[in-house]
Amino acid sequence: MSDLNKLTVADARDMLRKGDVTSVALTEACLSAIDGAGALNAFVHHTPDLALQRARAADARIKAGDAPAMCGIPVGIKDLFCTEGVASQAASRILDGFRPEYESTVSAQLRDAGAVMLGKLNMDEFAMGSSNETSAYGPAVNPWKLDGRDLTPGGSSGGSAAAIAADLCLAATGTDTGGSIRQPAAFTGTVGIKPTYGRCSRWGIVAFASSLDQAGPMTKTVRDAAIMLEAMCGHDPKDSTSADLPVPDFEAMLTGDIRGTKIGIPREYRMDGMPAEIEALWARGAEMLRDAGAEIVDISLPHTKYALPAYYVIAPAEASSNLARYDGVRFGHRAKLAPGDGITQMYEKTRAEGFGPEVQRRVMVGTYVLSAGFYDAYYNRARKVRSLIKRDFDEAFAAGIDAILTPATPSSAFALGEMVDADPVQMYLNDVFTVTVNLAGLPGVAVPAGLDAKGLPLGLQLIGRPWEEGALLNTAQVLETAAGFVSKPEKWW
């Protein structure tokens, strides 16, 4: 029973209901694994006492017959989610010491469903990054290694991905603004889904780019993602963008039958310089779905090439607006002032000390594209491109396409420090296959599908119709089963 932390959510749920295991035992196994995994730097705020308290309460609920699917399941919460009385810093110095007096809607729904919060997970500062190297806590480390080198777990939800891959928790929350759930999942051999924009409430999640941000589950299997997503979803009147739609039983929709469905292969995703093994994995994924009875159709998404530049105008513009609230006045870090300094100096010094270089870069870019002389040239033009990208997807779905298959990332995980001194655009190119999904507000899921020549995980991405996460997860599970990915990193931490 010492390997309880290696269970899937589905298996743990079934064992809890049968009385074969307790939530306290599951929680203690995860806490022990976390204590022994400091080298991964995945958990940055530990809440063992709170976890055991919630585990005991979950066991009581299960004994009383009041057990939702997530009841008693130990999970990690990304540091972007505000958690009542528990440090919530968005991995930024500027929120040092901030302990909210309220709970984010998504983490509250998991709590109310009986899930056990083990602590807060590392991430890129304000979710801005693709490698977890912008975190004020230092980077999380991928459990997978290459020639003794530390690898990135991806970003911004790098701590979540690392924790699941290393079996520190059974599942975790993530957020995805341009690929921040799907890219880390692909880099670590785990599953991550970004739901349709509006499916999960954004209330109480520290905002990066409000029209793009969306919470989602990160798990070991597609079935686990379906179970956890149902608990995270639901209409929230506190979020004006939350959809007032019923939440399906996503797990019940995992029939394994995709016969007659049409899977689109977008020709524009065949990028120049794409590694041959990514191309081969993509072709193999299409073959797996064809063998399961799906029809593979070549499609065109003609405005794809404009997605990355449009994203890196819109996201920084929204970030510069959202981050204006961090001024050292009401909460978080405040710089020490010299005699004679006024409020302007306080703002300047606080933000210079509190924001890291990548956040400063994006705030400056966002402020620039929103300025009077450049608003139409950059921001308005990017918004128009976004509409065209969404129209491309709408037309594909209107033509009968049920899901779209693409690579999840342009490569496997790279070494920490490898891109620190490189042109920032090189880092931004990690999002090349994922940002279109956020710009169009669609659901997208990353599924581990194989290993590259270096022995590192590679993932495939499926993009679904809006609000049809159940059908998307069903297709993802078919792909997961056919791929048969069971590899785990060798323990070195």
471 burial (CB, 10 Å; 0-12 / 13-18 / 19+) is buried
286 burial (CB, 10 Å; 0-12 / 13-18 / 19+) is middle
Task: List 145's β-bridge partners, or say none.
Answer: 150
Residues in the chain: 493
Q: Is 384 a catalytic residue?
A: no
Q: Is 242 a catalytic residue?
A: no
Is the four-CA dihedral 335, 341, 347, 352 of positive or negative sign? Answer: negative
In three-state secondary structure terms, 393 is helix
DSSP letters spanning 51-98: HHHHHHHHHHHHHTT---TTTT-EEEEETTB-BTTB---TT-GGGTT-
Burial 139-165 (b: 16+ CB within 10 A, else e): bbbbbbbbeeebbbbbbbbbbbbbbbb
Selection from 49, 56, 219 nearest residue 118 by Cα:
49
Q: Is 180 a catalytic residue?
A: yes
Token pair 């070991």: residue: 220
* Tokens linked to 177: 């603004």
Task: List 446's β-bridge partners, or say none.
Answer: 192, 461
Selection from 227, 266, 240 nearest residue 469 by Cα:
227
Q: Quick one: CA torsion of 463, 464, 467, 472, rounded to 10 degrees?
A: -100
| H helix intervals, 136-221 | 158-165, 182-188
Whole-number Cα distances in Å, 107 to 159, 215, 224 = 17, 10, 17
Single out the catalytic residue among 23, 78, 145, 160.
78
* Tokens linked to 63: 């004994």
Q: Yes or no: say if 99 and 87 are a contact pair by the CB < 8 Å rule.
A: yes
Selection from 118, 52, 106 nearest residue 81 by Cα:
106
Single out the catalytic residue among 104, 130, 180, 412.
180
| H helix intervals, 399-459 | 424-428, 435-440
Whole-number Cα distances in Å, 153 to 55, 131, 491 = 28, 6, 15
Single out the catalytic residue among 104, 131, 135, 156.
156
How far apart CA 213 and CA 208 sit, in angstroms, is: 7
Q: Yes or no: say if 22 and 68 are a contact pair by the CB < 8 Å rule.
A: no
Query: What backbone torsions phi and psi does residue 235 show, to the nearest 5 degrees?
Result: -70, 140
Token pair 């179970």: residue: 227
The residues carrying an active-site annotation are 78, 156, 180
